[in-house]
Amino acid sequence: MAITRERKEELVAIYSELLGKTDGFIIAEFRKMSVVKVNDLRKRLSETAGGSYSVTKNTLFRIALEQNGWPVPTNMFEGQTGVVFGNGNLPGVAKAVQAYTKEKDNGEFFIVKGGVIAGSIFNAKELESVANLPTLDEIHAQLAGLIVQPASQLAGLLSAATSQVVNVLQAYLQENESGDEEAA
C-alpha cells in the first residue's frame, strides 16, 4: 500500500527528530517479530539504557540521514528494518541489544546488521566492542573516583604530617621535662 507524500514528509521529520536526540544508532532486521516481542524490546531499551526502537521505512530513513549529515550505511537497508537509537547512551543500549539477541529465539527474530556511532559505520561484529564500552554512569563513577582519590591521598598526607609534628613536639616536651627534673 502506497503512502501519501505528506505521510512520507512526516516520517522523515520524525526520523530527523530521533536523529537529533541520539549519539548513534543500531540497525537491525526483524523477521516475524510479534507485537509482544517488539514491546518487550522497547521496554527493556527504555528502562535499562534510555534507548528507543523504531521500525523505519528504508528509503525515508536514508533521506533523513542525508538531511541530518549522518553517514548512510546503504548495505544495511535491506528487508524489514528497525533502528535502535542510543539517546546519549549508545554503549548501554548496545549492551541491552546484545543481551536481548542472546536470549532464546530472539536472535532469530532480531538480527543486528550494524550501526553508526560518532560518524563512523560499524558492522554487527563491532557492536560487541561498542557494548563493552563503559556506560555514562560508569564513566561518571570513574571520574568521581579520579577526583576523590587525590583528595583522600592529600588528606592522608596532611594527617600523617600533623601526627609527625605532634610526635616531635611531644618528644621535645618530654625531653625538656626530664631535663628540668634533672636540673632541680
Instruction: Report pLDDT digits (tens) over 82-112.
Output: 999 988 888 888 888 888 888 877 767 888 8
Report d(CA 160, CA 22) in Å as an integer: 49
Residue 141 and residue 129 share a domain: no
Predicted pLDDT at 90: 83
CATH number of the domain bearing residue 42: 3.30.70.1730
Report d(CA 79, CA 40) in Å as an integer: 22
- Half-sphere exposure at residue 19, Cβ-oriented, CA atoms within 13 angstroms: 25
Residue 90 and residue 179 share a domain: no
Residue 167 and residue 113 share a domain: no
Predicted pLDDT at 35: 87
Please give the backbone phi and psi of residue 130, each rounded to the nearest 5 degrees, phi first. -65, -40
> Which triple of cell numbers denotes residue 9?
514528509
Domain count, the chain: 2
Predicted pLDDT at 135: 65
| Listed residues 133, 151, 166: the one ending a domain | 133
Residue 157 and residue 116 share a domain: no
| Listed residues 108, 133, 158: the one ending a domain | 133
Q: Which domain holds residue 141?
A: 134-184
Predicted pLDDT at 131: 72
E strands within the chain? 24-30, 52-56, 81-85, 110-117, 120-123
Predicted pLDDT at 1: 62
Burial class for 87, CB neighbours closer than 10 Å (0-12, 13-18, 19+): buried
Predicted pLDDT at 182: 58
Predicted pLDDT at 28: 92
Per residue of the chain (184 residues), what is the pLDDT tens digit?
678 999 999 999 999 999 998 989 999 998 888 888 888 889 988 887 788 999 999 999 999 999 999 999 988 988 889 999 988 888 888 888 888 888 877 767 888 899 998 788 988 888 777 677 766 677 778 778 777 777 677 677 677 767 777 677 777 777 777 666 555 5
- Give the H/E segment covering residue 174: helix 136-183
CB distance 6 to 86 below 8 Å: no
Listed in sequence order, the DSSP H helices in 68-135 are 90-102, 106-109, 124-131
